[in-house]
Amino acid sequence: MTALLTVDGVVKRYGGLAAVDGVSFTLNAGGVLGLIGPNGSGKTTLLGVLAGTHEPTAGSVAIDGRVASGRGAHRAVRAGIARTFQTTRLFGSWTLRDALRLARGEARGRSGAASDETIAGLLSLDGLLDRPCGSLTSAAQRLAMIALALATGPRVLLLDEPAVGMDTAESAALAAAVRRVADELGVAVVVVDHNMHFLMPLADTVLVMAAGAVLATGTPEEIRSNEAVIASYLGGA
Amino acid sequence: MRLPAAARHAGTAAGLAALSVLAYVLLKNVQGDRGQVVLLIVVWTIALTGLNLIQGLGGYPSLAHVSFFAGGAYLSAYLLGKGLPMAVCAALAVGGTMLAGLVVALVFSRTRGQYFAIGTMFFTAVVNLVLTNAAGVTGGPNGRPVDLGFSLDATLVLLAASLGLSLGAFHVLARTRFGDRLRAVREDEDLAQHVGVPTARVKLVAMVASSAFGAWAGVLFAQYNGVIAPSQFTFVQSFLMLVAIGLGGSGRLLAPLVGSAIVIGFTQLIKLGPGISQIALGVLFILVTLLVPNGVLGGITGLWRRVRPGRAGGPAAEPPRVRAKEEVAS
Amino acid sequence: MIQVLVNGVFLGCLFAVVAVGLTLVYGVMEVPNFAHAGVIVLAAYTTWSVEHAGAPFVVAALAGIACGGAVSVLTEVLAYRWIITKPAAAPAVALGLLLILQNVALRLYGGEGRSLDTPYDTVLLKAGGVSLPGVKAALIVLAVLSLGALHLLLSRTSLGRAMRAVAQDRDAAAMLGIPMRRQYALAFLIAGMLGGVAAVAYAPTFQVSPYMADDVLLSAFVVVVLGGLGSVWGAVAGGLVLGVVEGLGAAYVSSAYQSAFGFLMLVLILVLRPGGLRTTDARRVA
């Protein structure tokens, strides 16, 4: 069986500086990959390349063997890759249901996006579908942003620091929701976050980046005990 | 209580038809300066309905709109002068202007907010430069006469009918997925792109569509007026069009009509002396931008909701309406 | 050929002085200051009317520059200050202000052009077949002096350093305790005075009218795009490039379409940079 998401030797340069310098990994359907690394290690840029926000200087991103990179964000969505943002971004004055409908309509030719109710159920947003996005609590808005990504019927979901600004209970609920999304929808999830208490129990695999390259890959347990990772990043955590 | 969708659309259609009839009666019977005011309001409403797509729904302040208006007027006048039948002239003038709109859109639909404003403003300045200097075709700074292509009565009927039909077209477009895509671009362009909206193409289509409304209004204006000159198509005019949409209420169906009435009324009816009416418009526009961002119509809707709190109030901005099985050419 | 280049440098200096004013305001406040053209017009009329009242040219020029600064600060205090949290409204407000300022000029002074006399009207510099009227030479000198002074202000004084900090990162600068309102007002004051310098230097080569600065403003915006929003040296370099391009176009193609060459340049930049202009979003003043 081939992997769902194949990232092959992705490089992203800005002038002479390589923000991402030859990253490769694969991810299966239903898998959750945690992407960690110090600030400036290239996590967010890599996520941007995966989502079509940036065009890679070299290398490719493929879904089911079909190249999906470098053709713009809206095409990445149609190829089955959706993302969220570090800062909360929603169509604030729209109801969540209207926003989901727009997103669903855009993923033409892609079937199998879950219904509004299913998505709301997975993300514990029941009863909030007909409220304007801007009137939701900040934690609910973070979840609504994921709901919007799911409405495009993605095969791969990219979450950029989804737990930012959440307290312990909220981030635990978020982790459970992400797990449900991966298990029940069979979506492959890539999560960038600095909060190890949130990320480590959630991820099947952890990829550590440093200076644009892969420092280490492994299960959360392996990463916790990896000397190089502890020295460069995790420290006493 | 909500009326069924079909009944509400029928109501809108009837209202627009009544508006067309009213426009015809006024155009036919009001004479002199006031007649000129009625004409300008009708022509501007037709032209601004296009601007209401790109600026109103999409949030892109296009200062190129008066150039499209000029394109329709000058192209039809030029072709008429060559002896072509009026219907052909009108079609070629609108088509040619849309082609120009496509070129402008190809260049500037990749830019955002402020750059878009600067670029389209410059485009209008250059078009005006051409109108002033290419005297062989345009008649130069003093303008040129326009041959009679339609009879006066036919022009009046076309003006009145186009008023209702343009607004009707906007009403329909605003309810398709295209309308929602534009609203999504206005709310958050990056996010729109990341839920799959091809934002550059949406802006491009909106720009080309808006140029068609502008050009058709220009054709009718030239027919009615009989003379066209560069001073009618300056950057200030383009800006006043933008002001009209902002004052009326961006993206709202009747914004072009209300906005045109305010702007034309201020500049033509209230004789405050040169400059004063434009200063007043500028102040009014800034105040509305700061205090009532949804314009006059938005302000009225807001007041109405407050007066009648029993009605289920939606968000302040006009909510998107997507029909589940809408197939939109894009 | 050299004559054409000299003319281009003259235009370039004019564009640079105007563009630096635009870019400074954009740097600290992210406003496309269309009203700048109105500031230039009012400064030019002030100079004209003070001189007309019998004052020496130097006094009139200083009055014009002061007027530019004052009007510019007024636009900030009365309008721009209230839209800091609503950047989408900025172009609309800026255009509204332009409409107001130009029509104030129209109201006060009427529509017909006025000519501004200077003591150096009749001077004509000549060197090896190249001639440069005194009014144009004076503009180049004034531009170099004012931009040099601005450079010293930004690089050597604490006020200038604070302004650069604001341009780098508004939130961080506010947290460091830099008084933001003073910075905004200061940026508009400097921009307005530069506009005044442009008016005083430019008006004698042309004439004073409510719409005298429209074309210059558009060209200056192209310069800002060329040099990168918020970059002072970018504006200077971009100004010279565009000045020479427009000068060449005016000399060898058609002088009636001079500003159209600026537009062509803008289109070229947009077409040649496939990412659009979002890549020039680095905000800095240096």
> Given a cut of 90, is residue B159 above it in pLDDT?
yes
Partner-chain contact B290 C215, CB within 8 Å: no
Give the pLDDT mean for C180-209: 89
Q: Which amino acid is at A209?
A: M
Minimum mean pLDDT range among B96-105, B247-256, C26-35? C26-35
Which residue in C has a C-alpha nearest to residue B242's C-alpha?
C92
Question: Measured between CB atoms, which of B190, B198, B315 is closest to A93?
Answer: B315
Share of chain B above pLDDT 90, in %: 56
**Chain B residues whose beta carbon lies within 8 Å of the beta carbon of residue C225:** 115, 118
Q: How far is CA B264 from CA B125, B216, B277, B278, C38, in A?
A: 22, 19, 10, 11, 23
Give the pLDDT mean for C218-237: 80
Residue C23 belongs to domain spanning: 2-272
Per-residue b or e along C237-272, where b marks 16 or more CB atoms closer than 10 Å to that residue's CB: bbbbbbbbbbbbbbbeeeeebbbbbbbebbbebbee
CA torsion angle for B58, B60, B63, B67 (degrees, to 10)?
-40
Q: What is the per-residue pLDDT for B206?
A: 96
Q: What is the per-residue pLDDT for C229?
A: 63
Minimum mean pLDDT range among A68-72, A172-176, A209-213, C1-5? A68-72
Partner-chain contact B180 A89, CB within 8 Å: no
Which residue in B has a C-alpha nearest to residue A88's C-alpha?
B191
Tokens of B36: 């000129």
Q: What are phi and psi of A216, to 5 degrees?
A: -160, 155
Partner-chain contact B282 C100, CB within 8 Å: yes
**Chain B residues whose beta carbon lies within 8 Å of the beta carbon of residue A89:** 188, 190-191
Q: How far is CA C248 from CA A165, B168, C251, in A?
A: 57, 50, 5
Q: What is the per-residue pLDDT for B311?
A: 45
Q: What are phi and psi of A95, to 5 degrees?
A: -75, 155
Distance from CA of B311 to the nearest CA of A (A): 15
Partner-chain contact A98 B197, CB within 8 Å: no
Which residue in A has a C-alpha nearest to residue B321's C-alpha?
A98
Q: How far is CA B202 from CA A108, B111, B206, C251, in A?
A: 16, 13, 6, 41
> Given a cut of 60, is residue B314 above it in pLDDT?
no
Give the pLDDT mean for C14-25: 90
**Chain B residues whose beta carbon lies within 8 Å of the beta carbon of residue C96:** 243, 282-283, 285-286, 289
Write the pLDDT tens digit of every residue in A119-170: 999 998 988 899 999 889 989 999 999 999 999 989 999 999 999 888 999 9
List the single best residue of C15, C26, C74, C95 to mutate versus B (max B Cβ within 10 A): C95
Distance from CA of B292 to the nearest CA of C (A): 12
Contacting partners of chain A (3+ CB pairs under 8 A):
B
Give the pLDDT mean for A23-46: 91
* Greatest Cα pair distance in chain C: 58
> Given a cut of 70, is residue C22 above it in pLDDT?
yes
Partner-chain contact B320 A102, CB within 8 Å: yes
Q: What is the per-residue pLDDT for A108?
A: 63
CB C90 within 8 A of CB C83: yes
Kindly state whether residue C145 falls inside one of the protein's structural domains.
yes
Question: Measured between CB atoms, which of B196, B199, B322 is closest to A98?
Answer: B322
> Given a cut of 80, is residue C274 above it in pLDDT?
no
Q: Kindly report the average pLDDT of chain C as a whole number.
A: 83
Kindly state whether residue C8 falls inside one of the protein's structural domains.
yes
List the single best residue of B191, B194, B325 to mutate versus A (max A Cβ within 10 A): B194
How far is it, in rounded angstroms, from Cα A104 to Cα A91? 15
Share of chain C above pLDDT 70, in %: 94
Q: Which amino acid is at B39?
A: L
Chain A contacts to B (CB-CB under 8 A): 51, 53, 72-74, 77-78, 82-83, 85, 89-95, 98-99, 101-103, 105-107, 132, 134, 148-149, 151-152
Give the pLDDT mean for C99-105: 91
Q: What is the per-residue pLDDT for C212?
A: 86
To which residue do tokens 């003259």 refer? C10
Output the domain CATH number for residue C115. Answer: 1.10.3470
- Judged by DSSP in three states, B294 sits in coil
Quote the number of domains for chain C. 1
Partner-chain contact B193 A149, CB within 8 Å: no
Write the pLDDT tens digit of every residue in A180-227: 999 999 999 999 998 888 999 999 999 999 888 999 899 998 988 888
Integer Rg of chain C from CA: 18
Q: What is the per-residue pLDDT for C162?
A: 82
Residue B59 belongs to domain spanning: 5-329
Q: What is the per-residue pLDDT for A1?
A: 52
Q: Give the confidence band of C177 by pLDDT, cuts at 50, 70, 90.
A: confident
**Chain C residues whose beta carbon lies within 8 Å of the beta carbon of residue B113:** 87-88, 91
Kindly state whether residue C283 falls inside one of the protein's structural domains.
no
Residues ≥6 apart with Cβ < 8 Å to A14 = none
Kindly state whether residue C284 falls inside one of the protein's structural domains.
no
Q: What is the per-residue pLDDT for B272?
A: 67
Kindly state whether residue C220 falls inside one of the protein's structural domains.
yes
Give the pLDDT mean for C46-58: 90
Quote the number of domains for chain B. 1
The ipTM, to two decimals, is 0.88
